[in-house]
Chains A and B, each alone.
Chain A
Amino acid sequence: MTDKALPETEPTHGGGTHLAPRRYFLFALPALLLMAAVIISPWLFTLVMSVMEFKVGGAINFVGLGNFTKLASDSRFLESVGRTFWFTVLAVVFPIGLGTAAAVVFHRQFPFRGLLRTIFIMPMMATPVAVALVWTMMFHPQLGVLNYLLSLIGLPPFAWVYDPNTVIITLVLVEVWHWTPLVMLIVLGGMAALPTDPYDSATIDGASDWQMFRFITLPLILPYIMVAVVIRTIDALKVFDTIFVITQGGPGTASETLNIFLYLQAFQFYNLGYASAVVMVFFVIIVALSLLLLYMRQRLKWNAA
C-alpha cells in the first residue's frame, strides 16, 4: 500500500471505487480553509503589518525592516527580552524541581494521599487573574498577610513586588505556586506507567532509595519531565495576566516582559506596526525554543536510548 503508487481508481470490496489521493484533498479542503482563515491569514497580516509604520488613527507607510532595526536599538525592548528569559528560566526550573519532588512523594502510599493530592492541585484550577488579585492583596507591604506572617517570626517586612530588585523573583513565586501542580500531575502520570522490574532487581541488589531514584526513576521519567518543561517554557514565555494584574510591568520597567511591552505598544500606544514586529520576533523566539525542547525530548525518549 505504501510502496506502490495507487492507480487512478481501484476496485473496492463494495464494488465502488477509491478516490485517488489527490481527490482526498477535497475532503481536507474545509479544514484547510478554516486553518487559513483563523491561523495563517492573521499571521500573514501580522507579517505585513510588521513592515509598516501604522499607528491607529494615523497614516500607514511602508518602512521595510525599519521596525526591526528600531527594535534592535530599543533598549526597553532589549531589556524586556532579557527579563523574559530570566523570568522563564526561574518559572520553569522551580516548578519542575518542586513538581517532580511532589510527584515522587505522591507516588508513595500514605494516609490521606488522595485528599492531599487534591488539595495540592487546587491552585492550578484557579483563574490566573483571580490568583493575581489575591496575591496582590497578600503582597501589600503594610496590610498584606505575608508581611504579617513574617512579623510573627520576628522578620522585618519584605518589599515583594514593590521593589525593582525583588519583583521578578516574587512573580516567579506566584507562578511556582500556581503551576507546580501541573508538573506534578504530568510526572506522576509518567511514574504510574513505569515498569516495576528494575526496582525489583535493584532491591535484590541492595540499592538504596536514593540510588533507585537517581539511576532508575529519574532516567525513566525524564521524557515526562521534558514534556512538562516544554509546556512550562511556552507558558512562562507567554505569561501576561499575572504580571499585568500584579505590577503592570513595574516598578518602573522592572517586570516589563516582552508581553507587557507588546501590550503597551499595541493597546496603549496603538503602534500596531511596531507591535507586529515585536510579535514576529516573539514568534521566532517561541518556535526556536519549542523546536530545541522537542528535539531534546526526542533524544530522551526511552525507545531512543
Chain B
Amino acid sequence: MSRIVDRPSRRFVVAGAAAGLAAPFLMRHEALGQSSFNWKRFDGTKLDVLLVKNPRSDLLQAHEKEFTALTGIQVSSEQIPEQQQRQKAMIEFTSGRPTFDVSMLALHVQKRLAAKGRWLEDLRPYLADASLTSPEFDYADFAEGAVGFGRQADGSVDTLPHFIDFWMVYYNKEMFQQKGITYPKTMDEMFAAAQKLNDPSKGVAGFVSRGLKNANIPVWTSWMLGQGMETVSATGQLQTDTPEAIWAGEMYKRMNREVAPPGTVGFNWNECQTTFMQGRAAMWLDGIGFATPLEDPTKSRIVGKVGYGVTPPGPKGHHSALFGDGLGISRTSTKKQAAWLYMQFMCNKGNQLAMLKAGAGSPGRSSALANPDAQVGSRFSKEYFECLAASGKIARAGLPQIIPVTEFRDVFGVGLTNTLSGADVATELRKATEAFKPVLEKSEQG
C-alpha cells in the first residue's frame, strides 16, 4: 500500500482519475435513486424531443446521457432556430400527429395557441401521482410568477417553466462613473441620464434598444408596465391607445430617437448587444438572457464594467417584463409517462442550477436563484444575481396573453417604428389598434 502511495503505478493513477471524474455522477445517481421512486420503469423507451436552438438546449442535450443512465430511456432531440421551431410546432401540433413527445414552447408567444389547439398534456394529474413524480422533484420550488406565467386560463398546467427571462437594464458602470451619474431611480431619470451620457461626437449613445418592428414591442411594453398597465386587459380589451400606452410610446420614441445611436430603427437585440459590448452605448434595455457575451473577453470590450439594473419604476408601476419557455408533453404522444420523467429530470434542482451557473439564462426554480453556489466561479458579478432576484419579484408578462401574438407584434411594431421616422405616436397607436382589433376579436371567436 505504501508503495502505491509513494510510487503509484500508471494504471492506479488512471483508475483513480476515472473514479474521481465519475464520482459526481455516481453520487448524483445515488441521490436521485435514494428514494423508492422507480426511475427505471420505462427502461427501453425512446423519446423524441423538439428544442429551440439556444444554450439552454445545449445543456439539456448534455444531460441526456445521464438521464439515459438513470432511466434507460433513450432521447432523440433536435434543436431548431427559434422561428422555425415555432413554425414546426404549430404545423405538427395542428396536424394532430406531432413527431415529438416533448416540445419546448415559447410561453410569451404560443401559450394561448397551445391551449386553443389542445397541444399539450395537462401536467396536474402527473404532479399528483406519487408513482410518477419523484419526491425530490419539488414542484413548489418553481417561482410563483413563473408558474403563473405558464398556467392556462382554465387552470391547467401544460408546461414546466424551464426558463424565465426578465427585461432589465445593462449599463456601463465606467461611463456612469466618468459622468458622476448614479443608476436612475425612475424612467424619467433614465432619459435624463441617457441625455447626459449621450455623446455622438465620440460615437457613444446614451441608450440603445430594439427599433426593428416586431422585436421592438417588449421595449414599448416595458415602458407601459411603468404605468402599471399591460397592452391587453385581463378581460381581453386592447389598451394600446390609452394615455398610458401613448406615454409609453412617447418614451419609446424619445429614447430611441434622441439618445440612441443612428439606425436603431433597424436594430434587433443582436445589433443592440454588439453596440453595447463595444462600448458604444451607456445603457441597453433587454432580456437578461443576453448577458453572457458581455462578460466574455473574446467578444466584449466592457468585461467587468457591466452593471445589471432592475428596470426602473414608471409613474404608476414598477415591473420587469417577463418572458419564458416551458417544456410540455404532446397530448397525442404514446409515451407521456416516460416524457414526464424526462421533464422532471431536465427541470430538477441540479440541472436548473447548472443552467444558472453556465450563464445560459434564468431558471424557473427559486432554489437555483437562492443557491449561493450559483455565484461560485460564475463570470457574473453579485449584482447580476441580485438583479435576477429583484426582477423576479416584480415580473409581469411582457407580451399580451392572446392567440395572435405575432400579428400583434407586427402591427404595433410597424406603428412604433414609424414613430422613429417622426410619425405621431398617438396617431400610429390608434391606427394600429384599429387594424388589430378585428384580428383579436376573430381569434377569440374561432
Q: Which residues of A contact B (CB under 8 A)?
A: 55-59, 140-143, 157, 159-164, 167, 247-253, 264, 267-270
B262 close to chain A: CB less than 8 A? yes
Inter-subunit contact B410/A159 (CB<8 Å): no
Q: Which of B257-290 contact A (CB under 8 A)?
A: 261-267, 271, 274-275, 278, 280
A143-B280, A159-B263, A249-B213 known; 9 new pairs, CB 8 Å cut-off, are A55-B446, A57-B113, A140-B274, A141-B262, A141-B263, A162-B263, A250-B266, A250-B417, A252-B417
27 pairs, CB–CB < 8 Å, chain A vs chain B = A57-B117, A59-B446, A140-B271, A142-B263, A142-B278, A143-B274, A143-B278, A143-B280, A160-B263, A162-B262, A162-B266, A163-B263, A163-B265, A164-B265, A248-B214, A249-B213, A250-B212, A250-B265, A250-B266, A251-B212, A251-B265, A251-B266, A252-B414, A253-B213, A264-B410, A269-B404, A269-B410
Which label, helix, strand, loop or mixed, suits the secondary structure of the A interface? loop
B116 close to chain A: CB less than 8 A? yes
Query: Closest B-chain residue to A161, C-beta based?
Result: B266
CA distance A57 to B91 in the complex (A): 9
B418 close to chain A: CB less than 8 A? yes
Query: Shortest beta-carbon distance, A161 to chain B, in Å?
Result: 6
Query: Shortest beta-carbon distance, A58 to chain B, in Å?
Result: 5
Query: Closest B-chain residue to A247, C-beta based?
Result: B266
Q: Which residues of B contact A (CB under 8 A)?
A: 87, 90-91, 94, 113, 116-117, 203, 211-214, 261-267, 271, 274-275, 278, 280, 404, 406-407, 410, 414, 417-418, 420-421, 446
In the complex, what residues of B have CB within 8 A of residue A161's CB?
266
Query: Closest A-chain residue to B414, C-beta based?
Result: A252
Query: Closest B-chain residue to A56, C-beta based?
Result: B94
In the complex, what residues of A have CB within 8 A of residue B410's CB?
264, 268-269
Query: Shortest beta-carbon distance, A63 to chain B, in Å?
Result: 13
CA distance A62 to B38 in the complex (A): 53
Inter-subunit contact A141/B407 (CB<8 Å): no
Inter-subunit contact B420/A141 (CB<8 Å): no
Known A-B contacts A57-B90, A142-B203, A270-B90; the reply to A250 vs B213 at CB < 8 A is yes
Query: Closest A-chain residue to B267, C-beta based?
Result: A162
In the complex, what residues of B have CB within 8 A of residue A164's CB?
265, 421
In the complex, what residues of A have CB within 8 A of residue B261's CB?
141-142
Query: Shortest beta-carbon distance, B93 to chain A, in Å?
Result: 8
In the complex, what residues of A have CB within 8 A of residue B117's CB?
57
CA distance A164 to B410 in the complex (A): 17
In the complex, what residues of A have CB within 8 A of residue B87's CB?
267
Inter-subunit contact A143/B275 (CB<8 Å): yes
CA distance A252 to B212 in the complex (A): 7
CA distance A143 to B326 in the complex (A): 36
CA distance A36 to B90 in the complex (A): 29
For A58, give its contact among B203, B271, B446 (CB under 8 Å): B446
CA distance A267 to B407 in the complex (A): 11
In the complex, what residues of A have CB within 8 A of residue B94's CB?
56-57
CA distance A55 to B211 in the complex (A): 29
Query: Shortest beta-carbon distance, A262 to chain B, in Å?
Result: 14
Inter-subunit contact B406/A268 (CB<8 Å): yes
In the complex, what residues of B have CB within 8 A of residue A163's CB?
263, 265
Inter-subunit contact A159/B262 (CB<8 Å): yes
CA distance A56 to B414 in the complex (A): 24
Query: Shortest beta-carbon distance, A305 to chain B, in Å?
Result: 49
Known A-B contacts A251-B211, A252-B418, A253-B414; the reply to A57 vs B116 at CB < 8 A is yes
Query: Closest A-chain residue to B119, C-beta based?
Result: A57
CA distance A141 to B208 in the complex (A): 13
Inter-subunit contact A142/B214 (CB<8 Å): no
In the complex, what residues of A have CB within 8 A of residue B262's CB?
141-142, 157, 159, 162
In the complex, what residues of A have CB within 8 A of residue B203's CB?
142
CA distance A54 to B208 in the complex (A): 40
Query: Shortest beta-carbon distance, B84 to chain A, in Å?
Result: 9
Query: Shortest beta-carbon distance, B128 to chain A, in Å?
Result: 30
Query: Closest A-chain residue to B261, C-beta based?
Result: A142
Query: Closest B-chain residue to A264, C-beta based?
Result: B410
CA distance A42 to B191 in the complex (A): 54
In the complex, what residues of B have CB within 8 A of residue A140's CB?
263, 271, 274
In the complex, what residues of B have CB within 8 A of residue A253's CB?
213, 414
Inter-subunit contact A252/B421 (CB<8 Å): yes
Query: Closest A-chain residue to B113, C-beta based?
Result: A57
Query: Closest A-chain residue to B416, C-beta based?
Result: A252
Query: Shortest beta-carbon distance, B333 to chain A, in Å?
Result: 19
Query: Shortest beta-carbon distance, B366 to chain A, in Å?
Result: 34
In the complex, what residues of A have CB within 8 A of residue B266's CB?
161-162, 167, 247, 250-251
In the A-B complex, the 10 residue pairs with the smallest Cβ-Cβ separation, listed nearest first, are: A162-B263, A141-B263, A162-B266, A252-B417, A251-B265, A141-B262, A58-B446, A57-B94, A252-B414, A268-B406
In the complex, what residues of B have CB within 8 A of residue A264's CB?
410
Query: Closest B-chain residue to A141, C-beta based?
Result: B263
In the complex, what residues of B have CB within 8 A of residue A167's CB?
266
CA distance A57 to B211 in the complex (A): 31
In the complex, what residues of A have CB within 8 A of residue B446's CB?
55, 58-59
In the complex, what residues of B have CB within 8 A of residue A269's CB?
404, 406-407, 410
For A142, give its contact among B265, B280, B404, B418 (CB under 8 Å): B280
